[in-house]
Amino acid sequence: MGFLDTAPKLGQPVRISLPSIAGPAVITDGEVPAFQLLVDGAWRGADAGDVFDVRSPIDGSVIATAAKAGEDDVLAAIDAAKRARTTFRQLPAAARLEICSDAAEVLGQHLDDFADIIVADLGKTPEQARTEVKATKERLGLAREEVRKIFGEYLPGDWIGDTKGKEGIVLREPVGTVAAFGPFNYPLFLAASKIIPALAAGNTVVAKAPSDDPLALVLFARVLEEAGLPDGVLNLITGSGGQIGGLLAEHDDISMISFTGSSGVGYRIAQAASPKPLHLELGGNAAAIICGDADLELAVGRTLVGAFKNAGQRCDAVSRVLAEESVYDDYVARAVTEAEQWVVGDPRAEGVKVGPLVNPDAAETVQRLVADAVDKGAKVLLGGEVEAAYHQPTVLVDVPLDAEIIWEETFGPVLAVARVTDLDAALEVANGSRYGLDSAVFTRSLEQAWKAAHALECGMVHVNDAPAHGVGHFPFGGHKPHSGIGREGLGYSIDECTRVKTVVLPT
């Protein structure tokens, strides 16, 4: 008997319901819907006719097929994006913003359909899926705020001898064509957060949908079409990243790479893309430090959200908790009690808070990290089992510092708790990771909060809360190579998608 026999039972077989705008993007005359590529304004299959199955991690069933793009399809998409550059760049910025605004309206009209597709395709709970769609709609609406960050600059020349009699105007222009790679864990929002600022800045885009769950992004391209985006400006391809990602990265007509995903894949893309501009959001290994004076009720609640939300499949998830000796036992006892409320099972069932991971291999990877920690002396106080794509929410305590889970990205629902003597010891462990994306510190002391904030080697520090990036009002990104380069966020994403040109004029 597996743990799923005692969890909320799997419901009806997973099926997807298409929004009315799906139209030409999906062929519906087969056993399951067949999702197409978007190249130069035309929805079509792959040149070679290849497709791949899209399976729901909820029950492993095939819910759709998607076109498996090959080299010819990628080259056609890149060529279309290149040819569309001039006319799209000439489109007034106000018109580009109007497209984003109209797209927000269209997406809002189909919010429930998009949420249902994310539930089926990734296994998120309906609440989490709706939150993702709402955040995407909000990001479209905030494009108007982003473009306010596209500043030029005037530089008088008479301050320096060799520029006397001249003046400089510094312009920000679109880079050209952006290749946008979206990850599986937020299949709509994170890819859209690359596409939206790229379009707002006047770039064309070739977007690669995540292979495990491509459906929402394909339909998002339809949303932008309905909002009036011209043909060829956005091209959407689906297929194996291993087969087509390198071609996208290295092609001379791709001007910039924007990628969110694993450190290993990010490194390979960076190598292929060199010396193109890169925005890479890679791995995370967020430490949550629990100081001796922390509000433990708050710390427990927020760290469990940080570890278990979205089944732990978040780059900003709490990967390890470093609790000071004086509060360690109390924190652990409270965490176990609270974690029992995080029910795992079919995400469509009432009361379920943790659905499956993206696929069974991902669940097994998490289980290997848990087993390694146990082999080295850690104890499982709750959960710890895996079945199919489901991994139980797990509380792992007394985790030794030589356990792999202390240093690697977990990407699963595990609260790994290690004991430290004081804040200085916690900071040493936190900074020992090769990752540097997010961290958190729980304390009532402003002095300790500031000490941790200054000392932690990461791109974002959260005080008395779990890491979260939201729609990007606060900028985020990595401080160490394994966590990437560049910054996401309103305005900051626009900066990544523009380049500086200096015009020197005689006075």
- DSSP 8-state code for residue 10: P
- Annotated catalytic residue: which of 315, 408, 409, 488? 315
Residue type at 498 in one-letter notation: T
Residues present in the chain in total? 507
Nearest CA to 405 out of 263, 285, 266, 310 is that of 285
- DSSP 8-state code for residue 426: H
Return the H-helix or E-strand segment holding 234.
Answer: strand 234-237
Residue type at 403 in one-letter notation: A
Beta-strand relationship, 394-397 and 379-382: antiparallel
C-alpha separations of 207 from 68, 170, 223, 241 in Å: 14, 30, 14, 11
Active site residue 281: yes
Residues 477, 488: Cα–Cα separation, whole Å: 6
Active site residue 315: yes
C-alpha R_g of the chain: 24
CB 196 within 8 A of CB 143: yes
- Annotated catalytic residue: which of 146, 281, 408, 488? 281
Beta-strand relationship, 153-156 and 42-44: unpaired
Q: In what order do the strands lie in the sheet with 166-174?
A: 153-156, 166-174, 498-506
Active site residues: 281, 315
